[in-house]
Chains A and B, each alone.
Chain A
Amino acid sequence: VQPPEKPLQAEEWNKLREDFQLPEVFEEVMLNSMIRCNSPIDVAKSLLTHLARRNGDIAYNVLLKYLTLCVQQAQVSEIRDVYDIMKGRFKILESGAYNLLIKGLSNSDQWRMALTLLEEVKKVMIPSRKCYESCIKAASRHQEMKLAFELYNEMLAKDVVPTLDVLQSFFDFSRGMKDAELQKELFGILLYLRDNQIYPHRTFMRSIKLWFESLPGGNWRGRLTKIKDSGQCPVCNHQLEDSNLTEEEYSKLSERIIRDVIHGTDTYRKTSPKEFEAFQTFVESRPPFDIVIDGLNVSHIKSRKMQCENLFDAVNYLAKENAQLLVLGRKHMLMNSSNWKTEMMKEMQNKADFFFAENISEDDAFLLYATLRSGKHCRFVTRDFLRDHKACLSDSLTRHLFRKWQRGHQIAFSPSAQGRSINFLPAFRYDCVVQTTGDTWHIPYKDVFEEKYSYQVPRKWLCIQQK
């Protein structure tokens, strides 16, 4: 349906309505198409007049759609009129209307009205993220940084998660301002990124860099770089934080993993108590391992026919440097079949310790247990990101520790182009989060903005130094 180009009289609207397939929803469809084609506001007004004359009243959803059109075209006086009408007519307005009103008002010079509206919303429900963000951006744009930060802290207190857009806007609008309080708040945002293990994308990172460099008298300088494997920054020669956990964190994590992930609600779902006890005695009776390998995961890296060979290659590669290896397998590997030949199995058992679980057990739990019990130096080999296990952990702090531990201890691998060899990606020795030492800041960043949390750890860093 195409909306008309100019305001129409009542008879013309009536005629259009008759011609339409479903006359009951004519107004809605017409307004939707007006929003889509961005028609002039007078056309919508003439439709509303016709409706008002015909019915004596205008339905709430029609008012909402008109409000959307006004917000789209930034007609502030219209927005205020609609708000007055709605306020008088209905007891409370719902979240959709408030979002539109606040968005429309905050983009104009009557942005303080948006703040009063926000107060009104707070009485009835927790305001949505969009409401807070529009208000924060409006306050920032008008240089009221203190107010913006108050709103931001309120948002965090109510568990409303801010988008990276809003965080970036803080840095954008604070450029060149000299204020110790403001600086502290912005550092607070960087620490928020650190605590939640969020990596900024490129534009955000640039915004941070420009803010640092614009600080008068601060003498900050930022450079893009890549960190060496040893964990040293080539720009400022500073050693990054270690990826190892402290003793206390480590014991807490291992206790939590054993409780939540392995036993969970029912040990029988993943294995059986008898089998797990047998595994525990097995691990205790051996010296601590250096590397624990998920046998089936490694063997599936290439074609099915070469399962045994794949595992053999992996074991051979990892057994260099006399490392103590543990390979977790299944009982069907012992049966002499075309996939698992007994001679190869025997040779492998000379180089590594093997534990064979039941064919129906899930062996991820065993992997985690063996690695944790062997100590902080022990690493594990699997391509599985253990997402389902991380989700079993009950609180967010343990989840952060798990991710940190995973980054530092998981050896992932990928098939390589030539022949049978496998590429092993070694675990990180340094911790990949936003970090600071007071006069340096190191921030890892991603090229592209991704909505969901990605398990790929970024390799590019921004190094900011105070000279």
Chain B
Amino acid sequence: MQSANMLLRRIVRSSVLPFAAQHGMKKDSFPLSRALSLSLCLKQDKSCEPSEKLDLDEWKKVMKSGLQEEVSETVSEPKELSSLAAARETLEMWRLAGRAVPENISEEQLKAFMECPSKSAKKKYLKYLHIKELHKKNDRRKMDEKRERRLEAQEQASKTDETKKNSFLCMWSSTMDKAYNWRAAQSMIFGQPLVFDMSYEKEMSVREVTNTVKQIVMSESCNRRSVDPFHIHFCNFKDDSLYHREFVKNYGEAWDKLLITVTDQCYTEIFPKDKLIYLTADSPKVMKTFDHDKIYIVGSMVDKSIKTGVSLARAKRLGLETAALPLEKYLLWSTGAKNLTLDQMMHILLTLKDTADWKKALEFVPKRKYCGFVNKPVKELKKSLDLINTLKLGKGRGEVEKQFARNYPKKYKVK
């Protein structure tokens, strides 16, 4: 028996490769590592082969049997699907294929998807919906976990049964709200007006309008909480425009109770022209001080896609004075657009109004955009810095100038 086995082993080992090559990989593949165990299952030789063969195509049988059950269930389906239903089916298949597609999609969203002008727009929209859905799921999961933890903690607390004694008065937030509203009401009668120009709906996409409204909501709230609020006007505000709908979505019922002036007239009709100043980053004129008698206008526009010159065009058309914040003058600018968001503008203007301090006001410009604050204009600084460099390093004047010009403003650091 042993010798027979040994013989068999030798035969198998020497002849496995040509054997496999003859019959091809599909049919009878005798893996080399199985040569040793082959001698043990020589009797079951025949049964090994078909079981291996069955192995490889078994999945097809499983799938097809599953199919036949399904086919017998569904009798006859209408073959023609409407375009919306077909789109929904395609989206479902894409999701199964592993692409970034949301699970549930509403009719509105489906229509917006169909109206996307190009393939990449469709892809981006689906990805956005997918990520939004993921965030919602995560938030819900976290909230559930938090609730569970709170319930547990409550149980434990009720077990120990402690009474808490506090010497602080209970300060409800509604009291604070009332105080802020009083101040806002006062500003409506006595305060300095600040105008938000709401005529940019045509130039923005839907997403940009939503962002604008969110920024305005933030700026309105920080205005209300300040010491001396502005009297906010929304001018050129059409009823039932996209702005209006977004505001109602954000504020809900509080929209009717807000203490601001909303009108569809233009600001030139409400205020005299010589008192208006349009604040825009494209303006060639730089603001020097905050004027308490003038009325400043801010364009309610978010430019995710570049819109140079649009707000300046508006001001030019109406013949108004324009001004830009002195960002170049006071900050060593690094990288970033000089267009600031609406709530940053509100903070800056409020701080300027209360303290005429540019340093404090320009704190609200995002720190990543600049790398230093200078009190004196940079040009005057340049000469003194050059002098310092020549004395320190002993290099020629021309070289130092070149170096300065090359490195400023990105990497220059005051030593």
Question: Could you list which residues of chain A lie within 8 angstroms of chain B, going by C-beta atoms?
Answer: 6-7, 9, 28, 40-42, 45-46, 48-49, 51-53, 56-61, 64, 81, 84-85, 88-97, 124-125, 266, 268-270, 272, 359-360
Contacts and interface: CB of A to CB of B under 8 A. Distances in A.
B394 interface: no
Given A53-B58, A85-B60, A93-B93, A61 B98 contact: yes
B316 A94 contact: no
Contact of B313 (A7, A58, A61, A266): A266
B69 to A, nearest CB: 11
A268 B31 contact: no
A125 B94 CA distance: 14
Interface string B24-63: 0110010100000000000000000000100111111011
Contacts of B59: 45, 48-49, 51-53, 58
Contact of B309 (A60, A125, A269): A269
Interface of B: 25-26, 29, 31, 52, 55-60, 62-64, 66-67, 70-71, 77, 81, 86, 89-90, 93-94, 96-98, 282, 284, 308-310, 312-314, 316-317
A60 B90 CA distance: 13
A266 B310 contact: yes
A42 B63 contact: no
B82 to A, nearest CB: 12
A89 B98 CA distance: 17
Contacts of A272: 316
B58 to A, nearest CB: 5
Contacts of B62: 52-53, 56-57
Contacts of A48: 59
The secondary-structure label for the interface of chain B is: helix
B266 to A, nearest CB: 16
Nearest to B283: A360
Given A49-B58, A61-B96, A96-B94, 16 more contacts: A7-B55, A42-B29, A46-B56, A53-B59, A57-B62, A60-B93, A60-B97, A61-B97, A61-B98, A85-B63, A88-B64, A88-B70, A268-B309, A269-B309, A272-B316, A359-B284
Nearest to A40: B25
Contacts of B308: 269
B97 A81 contact: no
A88 B67 contact: yes
A81 B90 contact: no
B102 to A, nearest CB: 15
A13 B17 CA distance: 25
A94 B97 CA distance: 9
A169 B229 CA distance: 72
B63 A360 contact: no
A125 B312 CA distance: 45
A46 B63 contact: no
A52 B97 contact: no
Contacts, number: 106
Contact of B86 (A42, A85, A90, A92): A92
Given A45-B59, A51-B59, A6 B31 contact: yes
Contacts of A40: 25
A360 B77 CA distance: 66
A57 B86 contact: no
A384 B66 CA distance: 65
9 contacts: A7-B56, A28-B98, A46-B55, A60-B97, A81-B60, A88-B71, A90-B96, A92-B81, A93-B93
Give the one of B52, B59, B310, B316 with max A CB within 10 A: B59
Given A59-B96, A89-B63, A97-B97, A49 B317 contact: no
Contacts of A96: 94, 97
B56 A45 contact: yes
Given A52-B59, A88-B67, A42 B90 contact: no
A41 B59 CA distance: 14
B396 to A, nearest CB: 17
B80 to A, nearest CB: 8
B86 A124 contact: yes
A46 B94 CA distance: 26
A9 B56 CA distance: 10
Given A56-B62, A85-B63, A89-B67, A42 B56 contact: yes
B57 A45 contact: yes
B388 to A, nearest CB: 24
A48 B67 CA distance: 17
B316 A268 contact: yes
B96 A60 contact: yes
Nearest to A96: B97
Give the one of B29, B94, B97 with max A CB within 10 A: B97
Nearest to B87: A125
Nearest to A28: B98
Contacts of A57: 62-63, 66
Contacts of B77: 91
Contacts of A56: 62, 66
Contact of A91 (B89, B98, B310, B316): B89
A307 to B, nearest CB: 16
Contacts of B86: 92, 124-125
Contacts of A269: 308-310, 312-313
Given A85-B60, A85-B63, A92-B90, A42 B25 contact: yes
Contacts of A7: 29, 52, 55-56
Nearest to B60: A81
B86 to A, nearest CB: 6
A266 B31 CA distance: 76
A51 B55 CA distance: 12
A85 B62 CA distance: 10
Nearest to A25: B98
